[in-house]
Structure 1
Amino acid sequence: MATTENKTSFQRLPCLVTPINYHIRLAPDFKKFTFEGSQSIDLKVNESTAEIVLNSDKLTIENGADQCNVKLPNDNKTINIKEIKYNVEEETATLILAEKLVPGMNAILNLEFSGELDKNLTGFYKSRYIGPDGKERFSAVTQFEPTYARKAFPCWDEPAHKATFDITLVVPVSDNDDKMVALSNMSVKEENRDSQKRRVVKFDRTPIMSTYLVAFVIGEYDYIETRSKHGVLVRVYTPLQKSEQGRFALDVAARSLDFYTDYFQIPFPLSKLDLIAISDFSAGAMENWGLVTYREVCLLVDPSHTSTSRKQSISLTVAHELAHQWFGNLVTMEWWTHLWLNEGFAMFMEYLCVDHLFPDFMIWKQFVSDTFLSAMNLDSLANSHPIEIPVGHPSEVEEIFDDISYNKGACINRMLYHYIGDENFRKGMKLYLSRHSYKNTQTEDLWNALEEASQKPVRRMMTTWTKQKGYPVVTVNCQGSNRLELTQEKFNSDGQLSDADKTMLWAVPVQVITAKDVQKPQAEILLEKRVETLELGSLIDLQKEWIKLNPFAMATYRVQYQQEDLFIRLLEEGIGQQKLDPADRLNLINDLYSMTLAGRKSSDVLFQAIGSFRNECEYSVWTVMNVILSKYNQLLYGYDFHPKFVEFGTKLITQKVFGEIGWDPKPSEPHLKTLLRPLLINRLVTFEYPEVMKKCHEAFDDHVAKRKSIPADLRSAVYRAMSSQITDEIWEKIMKLHDEAELQEEQMRIQSALGSVKKPEFIERVLKFAISDKVRSQDTIFVVASVACNPSGRRTAWEFFISNYELFKSRYDVGFLGNALIKSLIENFQTEEMAHQIEDFFRVNPNKGWDRSIQQSIETVRLNAALMARDTEKLAKFFQ
């Protein structure tokens, strides 16, 4: 089958003519689910040409002189379009003109077109929802990133082709007309009625911007509003009669706007900012300038039903999209190769913002356990990619909206921030944003600004992180009592290095903390050579004391300690006596875990080290421990010593931390304690710990009988417990809860929990439920994924996918969801036989939009198989 290196032939749009301003009028029909459109585009003619090439996908452009022509206002002349040639593969339309355009002339391209409101959550599409009266309603909404504006109107749909936009929306006549809203990037300029009594809403002209940031919404919504301290009108639009569920997001949005305005020292350039909850939405949210769209679950908070983790997630998502209003919208990457300039920086800034707004979240600790580690895990695969990767065809663009562009991008930004300091970082950000406002940039433009501000070798250092795939492992070898030999080489998940890998070097900011002071580094070096020596000073004795590299996991590398006794001291004192910061504790065990997966250490050594965490009570550390326990639960399922592994994991949790955290929340307990409780209970549900299973049954019975509601934080665990011991009676009760739930978060909790069923007939029932009308298309993959993550159901989930391949392909062949589905289906298998079977299937049934995810997932299956071949006997001996 094709690998990710086999690129589809692709050429960017020619620049013979370029757009300056679009006048766009769109009129959706909610009965036929179609739309009519017209537009006049002011053009700049750069070279003599008789052809205009622009993007158009699944649109019908009227080919008549009255509807489609080029006007030359200065000459009072019209040039007809003789022919329209469509290239379906390239998603372009070529307009063949009757005469040539001449450079320097003013030209206006007039087009009339029509299309369908998309079914696949891209372009201009329909969203279904149930109104307060119980009746089905529809709205028309947009999702244009990365390359879907061309499905709504013919355009130059590339980031560098910035223009201004005058949007006019025609609102269908409704029996609830006073609740029908029309929204776009800008404020309403004027409104009137046409001959059909439809409202015609015109919006102010936008700033210069890229097509993927244009947005419009027509539907029934309520809203609440406030003003930021800098005077920006902020509104949150919600489904009817749910406006108060937008209150938390409204507060976060207004405060985030103020934070970024003060941090960047550049005002938000629009007069208003709308945030809107969309019922059907593929991604979590989209940063359209002035009109940010969200999944309902990523915006709405109901105090009775919203979990603490979801509320925290909403704050991060809102902060992320608002960071984009500067990073991405005001200054935009020139091409998708530089996507990380948008996403990596927005992800780093969301943590910086939320830490400012909610210091009690201790969000930077969670950054290490969530963002840092997920980036490292993906980036050690052979089928990873550099942060900056050449992309061309739209199908390739989708593949890089992944943990490399987002999470690794955020990690190297955090590393750079720490390296140059907050003051220099702020100066550099202001310089970059001011210098390139309303323009397009490449990565080098950012490095230039930060280097100018900090007077440090930013470009030299950071190029090693963006241009190369992967990251290094630094091996530490003690030389005498106070000298370290540091050696860097590329870290690969399979433990093998190619000839090309052996030549790779990074500029690694290495810092060292010692047992004497775990907060302040005692030595540091920018490691740029293969091997360097670092002097620690006479106050440290490596024969007796321990050290740790990469304090707080600030830099993007792994560490291997050559001396066994040094590592044992680290475990005994740093972990066992908890002298290390939580970020260092989790970093230490995750590095060991990764070394184990790569064959540098064995699994029995890993679990001996895990035993050192018997006193661990920190949420961020347990997040990593949970990942490790989950991985081995998948790998060891079916082996005769699997029950002993479950016993080991259960004892690790129950001997101290669960006794302290308990089932019931404590008054005014810290935020991280509130997050730790459901994590532990969910793990104990997976291990079927009798005490917890009994509590879950009691809580479920009380909840169904409406005697006492299950706390929102514990509902996922309770629903999973009941699903794991499902009966027809329990199924009916769960379905009733699902059907009556008004909050999407509650429905999604139930849907995902159903993946825990173990009886074969119920596994089939859950999978059929996943593709039924009861589950939104955007949520289907999470139901299927939950079954695939259940060792009892993963084979059935894969076979179900094969049987329904055409359905899944038609739904998810474009967008982010298909890649998420592929990974969840494949990654937990552990035999070479399954790797071959999966390869064979996709060789016959290729999908280029999923290709990178397929390759990464098959590689993970082979890594699983290699691990089990190496370590099965050692694990059996350890647990028995």
Structure 2
Amino acid sequence: MSSDAQVDYRLPTDVKPTHYDLVVRTDLKQSKFDGVVKIHLDVLKKTSRIVFNVNELKLDKVHLYSDAFLSSPLTPSSTEFDKTMERSTLHFDVPLVAGSKAQLQIAFEGELTDAMMAYYKSAGGEDKSDAYALTQFEPTAARRAFPCWDEPLLKATFAITLISRADTVNLSNMSVASESAYEPGSTDKTDGVVSWLAERLSKLAVDGTSGSDKWKTTRFETSPPMSTYLVAWANGKFAHLESSYVSPLSGKTRPLRIYATHDIIHQAQFALDIKRKVLPLYEKVFDIEYPLPKLDTLVAHDYDAGAMENWGLITGRTAAFLLDPKSTNLAAKKTVASSQSHEVAHMWFGDITTMAWWDNLYLNEGEIFPEWKLDSAFISGFLSYAMDLDAKLSSHPIEVECPDAEMVNQIFDALSYNKAASVLRMLSNYVGEERFLKGVSTYLKKHLFANSVTKDLWEGIGAATGINIPKMMDNWVKAVGYPVVKVTETKDGIHIRQDRFLETGPAKPEDNETLWTIPLALLTTKANGETVLQSEIVLDEREKTIPLDVTRPFKLNAGTVSFYRVLYTPERLLKIAKEAAKTPSPFSVEDRMGLVYDAMALSKAGYSEVSSALALVDILRDEQEHLVWNSIRSNLGLLRSVWYEYPDITASLSQFIRELFGPIVRRLGYEYTDDEPSATRELRTLAISAAATAGEPSVVKELTGRFAHYMKTGDDSKIPADLQSAIYITSVREGGRAEWEAVKEIAKKPKNPSAGTDAIIGLGFSLDLAQETFDFMLTEARAQNMFYFFIGLSQNSKTRRFLVKAFKDNFAALEKRLEGNFSMQILVKYTFEVLTTDKDYDDVVAFFKEKDTSRYDMALKQSLDSIASRSAWIKRSTTDVQQWFETRKGSGKI
């Protein structure tokens, strides 16, 4: 991109903000806020104009002070506003001198809407009467709350003062410096409260609020330099739980709190405990003390994203931070642990050192819950999802140009997050975790409170390892896609070749120009069965030969640590599968998971047959590890999803799934105990859910019977938290209006967040009541929960086409309701990516042809790619799948 193009979307660099004195008054009763900001500027070039970001605010009282002249403050001679670029330009008759300093003071007013972005309003309590307000600025919404230079590179310090009603709580990034009753008419400038605000407060009675309301002023300590998207504040009648931790580096004790409204605060203890446990771990890993005086978390009822790493004030939705340990399933517990740990990690990566694409230090909460096997779970939770998305022609690099705010919003996907985490996991495994973390620490220390680019991280890790990290990593970060390595055996070894992997089949020459430096992680076995890992071998050219005894078991990508797929011959895959099925096996849990994911992805792309992947699964039928079973279940579910309009194939797949998972259900039963291993608990849940989805009669009877007991008595003791999702879905699918109504009541008043989301998804499994489910979403559900309804209606193959029509019929209403936040692209994805025909593809293109898709263009292109690949897969592999099941029937296996 040319420098001219960059100037078009980046703010001018003639002035730079260094500090903000920000005062905000919140009027929850009137759903309004106003305030004043004084922005301290360094004048880098002579200029007669000042350009900053602002949107959806009414500005007033604009004054410019400069140390270059001692006369009265300047007011703009003219003002321009660019709605598209979300910026205002102030013109002055007297220029600012290069090298001087200036202060720009602006008063502003705004509305507290329910948009789940900028400074917005939410509500708790049974009747949503407990109103409060909070901020969500990432990526470009700070400009909707106060005038600012709203770009990550333009870090500044912030001194924030909040004015609110006296019976509310004020929160911000930093600790409270002072709090006092506010006396209308006071102009205590040490608190940053200017006369303009004082005048407004003195006129409250005229504005329609009670003149007897008591108000207070809360002044917060000045922050370190930070980006505007990390600035945060909130106001409301919050309750809190409190804890603390002792820094292992300094011995200091820091207070930790989690805030929420009174009706939900009792479910926040677990998230607080996680925060207390991970903070000292991160300090030791990074060898850098957490730099702020406190760390709060605020739980919000209405929240567009999952959670947000605002420095010192983490925010997030209820499902990310709340649970009742006595009635919450293990999956929800993992979600809370992951969410809190993830956001705390951002206090270093993203906050201390702001790096646009870094995310997720591959789940360091593994040190707290080793029994969860989080490094293994990374393969299904992060790696496979990123690889699926990156296999599309519409994929994008981890580092991607963001010419406007719409593009910034769209790159918060599995590539920016999951692929980034995956390639860093690969690098850590290649160089060794200890050296990797030492390099990370070096990088952080060198860029404290500053901004950085990718090469800065590479320099830190390179210094710690002596390896040319940019040579190895640049294409993983800057290029789109990833490779498939084809293995051809010779009598002396293996010949390997890398090409770009695409889900639509072998890449054309123009799409196959990148050569990656691939850590091969070659696992071989000795005659005595001992395994040898050769982690130093890389493939940095198109092809090469590796000497190897191919009569012994071997496998590339040992541990599934590298970001590539491996294409073996069918004969070799069969041999590897048989070795994988042995007890003990030379191949780890991670190896077996990777085999399943690779086999199915390669068959989808036409590199191999689906029958080959099914044969692999058949061989692994005696597997004991739930994570391997999870990969089997998800991939068989993918086949059911793709061939959902082919009754003979879905019937055969369902029978196969019942055959695989039924014995596990019979072995493990339906009862959970507190002292059983988490792996046993997860395998039971997985097997019951898979068998129920496939229509196993005994499982369906058990689950619907348990829900019938609840409907009759109101007693939910027969619905274990881990089975609530399967029970809701099965009962709605097999039942009628009574079951649907009962699940709807749970969705409306859930006992915990996971029960609420499970119930919402469950509602989507009634074909007869699909329209009422959709209407319930439009009229009663919180906007943050809309995508859960779409998940249910999309997962239910019988309601998919209904969902497409409902989306189209209600498109204008959906777009309006979700204007400005992330959710519209998620709805597009769930509605259309599961379709499977060429006609579907053409219909989707036609529907969006005349529409402005700029807010979700990437999700739309990815969904179209999914439709195309599914259609091609069906054409290519239907006969193969049918014949495999026919052969099994003929052999008496079914």
User: Which TM-score tier does this pair reach, normalised by the shorter chain?
Assistant: over 0.9
Instruction: Give the root-mean-square deviation of aligned CA atoms.
Output: 1.8
CA shift for structure 1 position 10: 4.2
Decide whether the 8 Å contact of 1:279 with 1:295 is kept in 2: yes
CA shift for structure 1 position 422: 2.1
1:370 aligns with 2:381: yes
1:146 aligns with 2:139: yes
Any residues of structure 2 matched to 1:347-358 within 5 Å, and which? Answer: 347-349=360-362, 351=363, 353-358=364-369
1:71 aligns with 2:65: yes
The one-letter code sitting in structure 1 at the alignment partner of 2:496 is: L
SS in 2 for 1:348: coil
Does 716-725 or 186-195 show the bigger shift? 186-195
Query: Which of these residues, 860, 869, 872, is aligned with residue 866 of structure 2?
Result: 860
Does 14-23 or 101-110 show the bigger shift? 101-110
User: Which residue of structure 2 aligns with residue 521 of structure 1?
Assistant: 533
CA shift for structure 1 position 305: 2.6
CA–CA separation in structure 1 for the residues paired with 2:679 and 2:457: 35
The one-letter code sitting in structure 1 at the alignment partner of 2:299 is: A
1:190 aligns with 2:178: yes
User: Which residue of structure 2 aligns with residue 683 of structure 1?
Assistant: 690
CA–CA separation in structure 2 for the residues paired with 1:28 and 1:261: 36
CA shift for structure 1 position 74: 6.4
SS in 2 for 1:289: coil
Decide whether the 8 Å contact of 1:615 with 1:657 is kept in 2: no
Decide whether the 8 Å contact of 1:256 with 1:319 is kept in 2: yes
CA–CA separation in structure 2 for the residues paired with 1:430 and 1:8: 32
CA–CA separation in structure 1 for the residues paired with 2:703 and 2:638: 24
Query: Which of these residues, 219, 225, 233, is aligned with residue 208 of structure 1?
Result: 225
Query: Which of these residues, 84, 95, 102, is aligned with residue 100 of structure 1?
Result: 95
Decide whether the 8 Å contact of 2:66 with 2:102 is kept in 1: yes
CA–CA separation in structure 1 for the residues paired with 2:751 and 2:698: 31
CA shift for structure 1 position 120: 1.6
CA shift for structure 1 position 150: 0.4
SS in 1 for 2:521: strand
1:653 aligns with 2:657: no
Query: Which of these residues, 574, 584, 593, is aligned with residue 600 of structure 2?
Result: 593
Decide whether the 8 Å contact of 2:230 with 2:309 is kept in 1: yes
User: Which residue of structure 1 aligns with residue 749 of structure 2?
Assistant: 740
User: Which residue of structure 2 aligns with residue 727 of structure 1?
Assistant: 736
CA–CA separation in structure 2 for the residues paired with 1:135 and 1:720: 27
Decide whether the 8 Å contact of 1:788 with 1:798 is kept in 2: no
CA shift for structure 1 position 722: 0.9
Q: Deviations over 1:743-766 (max 9, x none)?
A: 23222111111111132xx01111
The one-letter code sitting in structure 2 at the alignment partner of 1:528 is: D
Any residues of structure 2 matched to 1:194-593 within 5 Å, and which? Answer: 194=182, 195=184, 197-230=214-247, 231-240=253-262, 242-333=264-355, 339-341=356-358, 343=359, 347-349=360-362, 351=363, 353-480=364-491, 482-516=492-526, 520-522=532-534, 524-536=536-548, 541-543=549-551, 545-562=552-569, 564-575=570-581, 579=585, 580-593=587-600
Distance change in 2, residues 1:135/1:535 (3 Å): closer
CA–CA separation in structure 2 for the residues paired with 1:340 and 1:811: 29
Query: Which of these residues, 812, 819, 822, is aligned with residue 825 of structure 2?
Result: 819
User: Which residue of structure 2 aligns with residue 696 of structure 1?
Assistant: 703
1:791 aligns with 2:784: no
User: Which residue of structure 2 aligns with residue 3 of structure 1?
Assistant: none
Decide whether the 8 Å contact of 1:398 with 1:814 is kept in 2: no
Distance change in 2, residues 1:699/1:789 (3 Å): same
SS in 1 for 2:764: helix
Query: Which of these residues, 808, 818, 832, is aligned with residue 802 of structure 1?
Result: 808
CA shift for structure 1 position 622: 1.8
CA–CA separation in structure 1 for the residues paired with 2:773 and 2:111: 32
Q: Deviations over 1:181-209 (max 9, x none)?
A: 10000011111222262111111101010
CA–CA separation in structure 2 for the residues paired with 1:156 and 1:498: 44
Q: Deviations over 1:86-135 (max 9, x none)?
A: 1010010111123211112221101011111132211000012216xx56
SS in 2 for 1:829: coil
CA–CA separation in structure 2 for the residues paired with 1:404 and 1:371: 10
CA shift for structure 1 position 232: 1.6
Decide whether the 8 Å contact of 1:348 with 1:411 is kept in 2: no
Decide whether the 8 Å contact of 1:53 with 1:93 is kept in 2: yes
Distance change in 2, residues 1:523/1:232 (3 Å): closer
CA–CA separation in structure 1 for the residues paired with 2:228 and 2:51: 16
CA shift for structure 1 position 363: 0.8
CA shift for structure 1 position 732: 2.7
Decide whether the 8 Å contact of 1:46 with 1:103 is kept in 2: yes
Decide whether the 8 Å contact of 2:743 with 2:762 is kept in 1: no
Q: Deviations over 1:724-756 (max 9, x none)?
A: 023222233223333332423222111111111
User: Which residue of structure 1 aligns with residue 206 of structure 2?
Assistant: none
CA–CA separation in structure 2 for the residues paired with 1:239 and 1:451: 47
Does 607-616 or 47-56 show the bigger shift? 607-616
Unaligned runs of 5+ in 1: 1-6, 334-338
Identity of aligned residues (%): 31
CA–CA separation in structure 2 for the residues paired with 1:136 and 1:368: 43
CA shift for structure 1 position 667: 5.2
How many residues are aligned here? Answer: 841
The one-letter code sitting in structure 2 at the alignment partner of 1:749 is: D
Decide whether the 8 Å contact of 1:43 with 1:108 is kept in 2: yes
CA–CA separation in structure 1 for the residues paired with 2:409 and 2:530: 42
User: Which residue of structure 2 aligns with residue 121 of structure 1?
Assistant: 116
CA–CA separation in structure 1 for the residues paired with 2:581 and 2:410: 39
CA–CA separation in structure 2 for the residues paired with 1:519 and 1:217: 56
Decide whether the 8 Å contact of 1:523 with 1:535 is kept in 2: no
User: Which residue of structure 2 aligns with residue 28 of structure 1?
Assistant: 26
SS in 2 for 1:542: coil
Decide whether the 8 Å contact of 2:132 with 2:235 is kept in 1: yes
1:643 aligns with 2:651: yes
User: Which residue of structure 2 aligns with residue 750 of structure 1?
Assistant: 759
CA–CA separation in structure 1 for the residues paired with 2:565 and 2:742: 48
Distance change in 2, residues 1:79/1:523 (3 Å): closer
CA–CA separation in structure 1 for the residues paired with 2:8 and 2:582: 56
CA–CA separation in structure 2 for the residues paired with 1:266 and 1:188: 24
Decide whether the 8 Å contact of 2:22 with 2:160 is kept in 1: yes
User: Which residue of structure 1 aligns with residue 891 of structure 2?
Assistant: none
User: Which residue of structure 2 aligns with residue 82 of structure 1?
Assistant: 77
CA shift for structure 1 position 569: 1.1
CA–CA separation in structure 1 for the residues paired with 2:710 and 2:323: 20
Distance change in 2, residues 1:169/1:680 (3 Å): same
- TM-score, normalised relative to structure 2: 0.92
- TM-score, normalised relative to structure 1: 0.93
Decide whether the 8 Å contact of 2:740 with 2:763 is kept in 1: no
CA–CA separation in structure 2 for the residues paired with 1:511 and 1:21: 49
